[in-house]
Amino acid sequence: MTSEMVFKKKSVDQYVRELACKGRKRFTASFISKNTDIEVDFVKERLLQLSTDGQLIVNFEVICPSSECEYQTIETYSSFNDIPIGEYIECEDCGKEFLVTKENIWITFSPNANYYDKEMCKGIEKDEKKKNPIHLLNKMVLQAMFITTSIS
């Protein structure tokens, strides 16, 4: 594993820890990717590994495709096999019926409360106004690593 991959892995782990300790109930790989400037595919693989390790719980959310709902979650499933793909369901918010397809399913991750305890959360502010801009640090370190490898 390259030093860049190790850095990315630690950055994702740290950001997940911060979210868990701040009480975040769920998040997506794209959310973490956007906030850490790490490729979404790398983040997704890391989150799946953290799920395998018991730190996160994977869920599947059926999202209403109507623009009126702004991606309202209709139902959450713990198993992909339980999702009624190919069936019509109705959104309680907008009243529209839609066909459930893979395109309107989001994979979300939730912190396992048994893993993120008080000891692990020491030093992490719950106040969102004091959040650490980890994505800026990641960007600077990755740029420095790129420059170093380009020069050598």
Encode 63-104 in three state secondary structure: ECCCCCCCCCEEEEECCHHHCCCCCEEECCCCCCEEECCHHH
136 or 86, higher pLDDT: 86
pTM over 0.85: no
* Cβ 72 vs Cβ 91: under 8 Å: yes
138 or 76, higher pLDDT: 76
Residue 49 has pLDDT above 80, yes or no: yes
Residue positions counted in the chain: 152
Task: Please report the pLDDT score of residue 131 as a whole number.
Answer: 47
Distance CA(115)–CA(56), nearest Å, equals 8
105 or 129, higher pLDDT: 105
Q: What angle do CA 26, 30, 36 make, to 5 degrees?
A: 95
pLDDT band at 134 (very low <50, low <70, confident <90, very high): low
Number of DSSP helices (H) and strands (E) in the chain, helices first: 4, 5
What DSSP designation does 80 have?
G
* Cβ 3 vs Cβ 149: under 8 Å: no
The residue type at 71: Y
Task: Please report the pLDDT score of residue 139 as a whole number.
Answer: 56
